[in-house]
Amino acid sequence: MYTDHYGAAAFIGRCRSVYQRTMGAVLSPMNAFLLLQGIETVALRIDRHVENALKVAEYLRDDSRVESVNFAGFADNPYYPLVQKYLGGRACSLMTFGSAAGSKRACASTTRSSFSSAW
């Protein structure tokens, strides 16, 4: 069946058609283009995430309404030496923080903010 249709390329034709049909393993041209665009810019986007996370963490640390900020990029964080060793001094963009007003009041103010209403 495949040799009649594909000739000398029967094996590769079967591999491609079977996998495409059963697993969707072949990208459309537009999806392949978008994937490549994302891969090409991932390093730049990660750098921006790291820079922005540091700015946000510093802002939160200086805010009187925030009791604590857990960010691995701060020298007083217990994971700071690991960031220096494994990540070249650039911490990831994840952080947690605690509200000085308590969790109930923080949740109430979050639901009233314009930022959360956009979601």
Phi, psi of 9 (to 5 degrees): -95, 25
Given a cut of 90, whether residue 7 has pLDDT beyond it is: no
pLDDT digits (tens, 9 = 90+) for 67-106: 899 999 999 999 999 999 999 888 888 899 888 777 777 6
Q: Assess whether pLDDT exceeds 60 at residue 117.
A: no
